[in-house]
Amino acid sequence: MPSILFVCLGNICRSPLAEAALREAARRRDLDLTLDSAGTGDWHAGEPPDPRAVAVAARHGADISGLRARQVTPGDFIRFDHIVALDHDNLENLRRLAPADATARLSLLLDHVPGREGQAVADPWFGAAEGFDVTWAEVTAAAEGLLDGVLKPRR
């Protein structure tokens, strides 16, 4: 069973939405995955997702209200097969945080969407609620591409 951790800065907007989008995509494909999300920062640890993130997920049939923010730990780099960053800064932070014995594969989420490689998922935190719709669309597209890539047989 593949395991995937999504990582953004505070773990209250983008990464919980990415977790929810992949959970929904996996459910539709009848797949069993281990999924979680975390932040590289700790200032929101223990807090629920932003209410705007909860609302956009709910509009798409996903309940993220029970999630709580947490910070990435060294153990995550061994526990998860894939650690997927939502932007370049967090990918670089993950590379710096990775212990020497890390086994997780690091990637940028939109690298899993043809034509969007190298791009960051829009950060809706400082904007209006509509920005969360843009983020949901991006993480949903990436969820499908990520599943296709993770499920591809290794040679």
Which residues are known catalytic residues? 8, 14, 123
- The tens digit of pLDDT for each residue in 19-49 reads 999 999 999 999 999 999 999 999 999 999 9
Dist. CA 108–CA 29, nearest whole Å = 23
**Tens digit of pLDDT for each residue in 48-90?**
999 999 999 999 999 999 999 999 999 999 999 999 999 999 9
Phi, psi torsion values for 7, nearest 5 degrees: -135, 130
- Give the total number of structural domains in the chain: 1
What CATH number corresponds to the domain at position 62? 3.40.50.2300
Strand partners of residue 4: 35, 82
Domain extent, residue 91, equals 3-151
How sure is the predictor about 155, in pLDDT bands with cuts at 50, 70 and 90? very low
Q: How far is CA 139 from the centre of its chain?
A: 8
Q: What average pLDDT is seen over the chain? A: 95
In whole angstroms, give the CA distance from residue 9 to residue 103: 22
pLDDT tens digits for range 120-140: 999 999 988 899 999 999 999
- Quick check: 136 and 19 in contact, CB under 8 A? no
Asked if 133 and 57 touch (Cβ cutoff 8 Å), the reply is no
